[in-house]
Chains A and B, each alone.
Chain A
Amino acid sequence: MGVVLIVAAKDLAQRARDRSIFIIGIVAPLALAFIFNLVFGGGLSDVGENITLDMGVVDADRGPISDAFVGILSEIESDGLIDLTTYDDEAAARAAVDGGDVGAVFVLDAGLSDDIQAGSDGVIEVVGDVDAPTTTQIASAIAEQFAVGVRRGTAGALASSLAGVIGPEDIAAAAAEATTAEPALRIGAVPAATRQLDASTYFVAGLSVFFLFFIAGLAVTSMLDERREGTLARLLAAPISPGSVVAGKSLTSVVIGLVAMTVLVIASTFLMGATWGPLPGVALLVSAVVLAVIAIMTSVGALAKTPEQAGNLQSIVAVTMAMLGGTFVPISGGGFLERLSLITPNAWFLRGLGDMAGGDVSDAVPAAIVLLGMAVVGGGLGLLLIRRTVRL
């Protein structure tokens, strides 16, 4: 342990001396997040209180069920949450969606009420605009809620409960739980993390992890630096185990990573109004993601022979992971890309923060466990691979 700390202290002194660590760990992410926030901030936070969602409805049914549904929509509209336009037929409604007049339309087909009253399934179709994912999500949530109520045979009661109780938070929460059971529902699903993280938090969190990759890369590049400076020979000649040198360098990265993330969390909270969530959960997720990213970057860097090679490899991995993980552009579509994003610690970190945004710390645990799993697997692989670099 002594040697680990000695090596870590030496490396920290070196890293503090080349000031790049402060720039890469703190200044750059803050600056970039700030810019991102300026550029995208408004577009992403359309769940905000003062925003009205444009929706449309086509009532070809004109039966009791559709009346109840339209009634609910009207009540929501009178609360100022949605702006409802009525269309005569489906073609007109779809044209309005395509033209961007509304974000989503409900299509109530002729015979809907008859079908349901006859005991068979009826369908409320939601046609959404890919460019208005939030509106579409909420529209589906409303339809879903209504369908649940109808299935329980209490459409009337539901109408009043929906109309009376629902507020913006509820809609957002409902949106988060929306399932896409409706056929022909074309929506752009927002990834889990964005469902509840506000724009600035989302981007600061994403960029923090992105930059964490570069901090984490330093463990391996500094190992390769030892080789280049010739000091590796001295470390190998000393009565210490090479493992403790590697451990010392990893510890340095962990410390720098934790410090940088802490500064980012604090600074973004106070400067940009980011809301990371409950402190213990944030601490858990930050620790887990720091370990995961360092483990991954150690494995990647260990494949290189020179610091430059390691730097290049690590940059590629950092950018790829950030893109896959939705750091720059939230992943939408809900399909392959979103599943692919789950190989990245970036996505899990954002997901963990999002899951926890409801205020329940325990919601962060699953994502933290996945991140720690990545840390264990990546760390084991890294240790196997890095032995090659701790040799003449």
Chain B
Amino acid sequence: MAGKVLEVSGIRKRFDDIQAVAGVSFSIDHGETYGLLGPNGAGKTTAISMIAGLRRPDAGEIIVLGQPMTPTSREPKAAVGLVPQDLAIYPDLTARENLRFFGRLYSMERVELNRRVDEVLEVIGLTDRADDRADEFSGGMKRRLNIGVGLLHRPQLLILDEPTVGVDPQSRNAILESVEYLSGEGHAVLYTTHYMEEAERLCDRVAIIDQGEIKAEGTRRELVRRVGENDRVRIQTTGSSARAISRLEDLPGVVNALSGDGSIELIVEDASAVLAEALGIVAEVGTSVAAVTVDEPDLEAVFLHVTGKALRD
């Protein structure tokens, strides 16, 4: 298939005094799963709302399958399936009624719709509960129904906005599996998350987004290469690490030092060269060490590298 499923160029959106999206450009190929990885408030949901045609960007352009997407577009909207970050289902309708209603908005025919509803119920694991009201569902089940509605009309581009937030591990896994299943079926997927592991597991390419801008983009391998051949050292501590950080930053061979939740994270050129000295500093300032791990860099390290801050708050 020629052309891109989605081409986003230079979109911007401002809310009063907040530049929520400050010039974002990227594109998605057929069959590709593309991730937007960024912390809360990075501008992911705002970007998605423009891409799905809910809002008009202040500037920039969105092309879906060769046609511009605006709030009044029909064809581009028909090609997109949206799974909003906030649950978007009717609590007083059953799972089946929810699916049927939204399916009909996409002009699905009755026979095809009924068949597809059963199919989707299977995919999201709600066949047994199909005729129960959504407000009787657990949080995870609601999330799964939320996703089911988005993929009902077999969209060529499925957009999922942080679909696993606030979900139990079992549902989370089911959600990730269904995304993998869809991408295996050849759907293009735009997936936003602030979980590094999800981006690593699902996405062919990832954009790191922060403060409304894409700071880096590429395959996992390409991104990790940006951090260089650096290693990541995580020192778990039991006391305050603030004093240690400032001295560790000045240590030769340390690219970046950051205090996490009861831990110190270091990006270093060569772990074996600096580890002993680093631990010495930590000991000197009176912070006791509980454990030390040395890793190859991951997307979290990349995030730290390109934004200078941790992905998690």
Contacts and interface: CB of A to CB of B under 8 A. Distances in A.
A3 B105 contact: yes
A229 interface: yes
Interface string B49-75: 100111100000000000000011111
A234 B146 CA distance: 10
Nearest to A392: B54
A17 interface: yes
Contact of B82 (A234, A241, A392): A234
Contacts of A230: 84, 86-89
A238 interface: yes
A236 B101 CA distance: 14
Given A13-B97, A14-B93, A392-B49, A233 B84 contact: yes
Contacts of A237: 52-54, 77, 80, 82
A17 B72 CA distance: 32
A22 B102 CA distance: 27
A119 interface: no
Interface centre among A14, A229, A234, A235 (most CB of B within 10 A): A234
Interface in A1-59: 2-3, 6, 10, 13-14, 17-18
B92 interface: yes
A341 to B, nearest CB: 39
Contacts of A18: 92
Interface centre among A2, A3, A234, A237 (most CB of B within 10 A): A237
Interface in B146-194: 149
A238 B102 contact: yes
B26 interface: no
Interface in B83-115: 84, 86-93, 97, 101-102, 104-107
Contacts of A2: 107
A235 B105 contact: yes
Interface centre among B49, B90, B104, B149 (most CB of A within 10 A): B90
Contacts of A235: 105
Contact of B54 (A10, A229, A233): A233
Contacts of B54: 233, 236-237, 392
Nearest to A237: B82
Interface residues of B, dominant DSSP: loop
Contact of B106 (A13, A233, A238): A238
A95 B105 CA distance: 75
A92 interface: no
B78 interface: yes
Interface string B233-276: 00000000000000000000000000000000000000000000
B102 A234 contact: yes
Contact of A234 (B74, B88, B91, B93): B88
A306 B87 CA distance: 18
A10 B88 CA distance: 15
A279 to B, nearest CB: 36
Nearest to A231: B88
Contact of B74 (A6, A13, A229, A239): A239
B165 to A, nearest CB: 13
Interface string B33-58: 00000000000000001001111000
Contact of B78 (A13, A231, A239): A239
A240 interface: yes
A229 B90 contact: yes
A239 B75 contact: yes
B80 A392 contact: no
Nearest to A240: B105
B273 to A, nearest CB: 52
Contacts of B149: 234
B77 to A, nearest CB: 4
A146 B71 CA distance: 72
Contact of A233 (B78, B88, B101): B88
B93 A13 contact: yes
Contacts of B101: 6, 10
Nearest to A236: B54
A239 B89 CA distance: 18
A269 B88 CA distance: 45
Interface centre among B74, B86, B101, B105 (most CB of A within 10 A): B105
A331 to B, nearest CB: 41
A240 B104 CA distance: 11
Contacts of B75: 239
Nearest to A10: B101
Nearest to B100: A10
B107 A233 contact: no
B13 to A, nearest CB: 11
A239 B106 CA distance: 7
A14 B73 CA distance: 29
A2 B93 CA distance: 20
A14 B82 contact: no
B49 A234 contact: no
A238 B92 contact: no
A237 B78 CA distance: 9
18 contacts: A2-B107, A6-B105, A13-B93, A14-B92, A17-B93, A229-B87, A229-B89, A229-B90, A229-B91, A233-B84, A234-B82, A235-B105, A236-B71, A239-B73, A239-B77, A239-B105, A392-B49, A392-B54
Closest 5 CB pairs of A and B: A230-B88, A239-B77, A238-B105, A237-B82, A230-B86
Given A6-B105, A234-B88, A237-B80, 20 more contacts: A2-B107, A3-B105, A6-B101, A10-B90, A10-B101, A13-B97, A14-B92, A14-B93, A17-B92, A17-B93, A229-B90, A230-B89, A231-B90, A234-B82, A234-B149, A236-B71, A237-B52, A238-B105, A239-B74, A239-B106
